[in-house]
Amino acid sequence: MVKSGHYIYCIIGARQERNWRAIGIDRTDVLTVSYDDLSMVVSSHPLTRVVVSRENMIAHEKVIERVMQEFDSVLPVRFGTIAANADEIRNLLDRRHREFLNLLRHVEHRIELGVKGLWKNMAAIYDEIVRENPAIEKAKRETAKQDGMKNLQGRRNVGMMVEKALLGKKEQETKKIADHFRKTVVDLKFNKTSGDEMFTNAAFLVDGGREKEFDNLMEQVCQRCQERAIFRYAGPLPVFNFANVVINAGEWEH
């Protein structure tokens, strides 16, 4: 029979017994385990590896978002973290007490906002790249005159040149976006983009009182770029990009 442990969602700066019923992974009750002035938010889960699925990852995030509705300072814990029992949790909160308190102070009254930008017309973007890079335009003309293997190799070289230029263009566009928000945010992070169309995938750490200001700036960006790009704006989110706590398996054994 598989023993049951505690699946961990996040850490809060409070010693408070809570029960958020049936919102955890597998619709389990979510509780707190406390030590001193810290608590871990947990639910019961078998001591086996957690299945990495969209459903479980969404449940993990939804629990943290629910806790954020009641607490101003919440530290997300990496998906899939399980302790064997409450004593292990209390021991870890004791050993890493100062670290967790400092992180909680850093994110107190702060939220994460996510912005993804996607170009609407990639054909137009590639045309821009060719116009902005004479070397690419020259290589395309020379390749068009070649036959056989030379033509194939030439097209490969042009493709690599375009790919490099596309990355540079993404960086330029991302910098413009970041500069627009820089005075409003506490911190920012750029994540990997997916596909050619996505040119920015940014996370912003924002003081809770400045969310409306950020919203207004986001609206300005959307209006200014409405013919060129679309933006996906998400938040408030748990601060995964700025304070995602990692607990290694060996730490529970001390």
- Report d(CA 190, CA 201) in Å as an integer: 6
Geometric angle at alpha carbon 236, from 26 and 24, rounded to 5°: 10
Give CB contacts under 8 A, 24+ apart, made by 59-62.
59/23, 59/24, 59/25, 60/9, 60/25, 61/237, 61/238, 62/23
Per-residue model confidence (pLDDT) at position 63: 93
pLDDT band at 252 (very low <50, low <70, confident <90, very high): low
- Residue 208 is classified by DSSP as G
Give the chain's mean pLDDT: 88
Q: Are 186 and 207 in contact (CB under 8 A)?
A: yes
pLDDT at 200: 93
What spatial distance separates the first Cα and last Cα of the chain, rounded to whole Å?
25
Strand 30-35 to 82-83 pairing: unpaired
pLDDT in tens, 34-82: 998 999 999 998 888 888 899 999 999 999 999 988 888 899 999 999 9
- Residue 254 pLDDT exceeds 60: no
Please tell me the predicted confidence (pLDDT) of residue 142.
76
Rounded to whole angstroms, the Cα distance separating 100 from 88 reads 16
Say what the pTM is: 0.80
pLDDT at residue 217, rounded to an integer: 92
Helix (H) or strand (E) holding 241: none
pLDDT of residue 253: 60
pLDDT value for 151: 74
Please report, as a single letter, which amino acid is at residue 180. H
Beta strands in 93-161 (DSSP E): 110-119
Give the span between the Cα atoms of 125 and 122, in whole angstroms. Answer: 5
Least confident of 84-93, 142-151, 170-179: 142-151
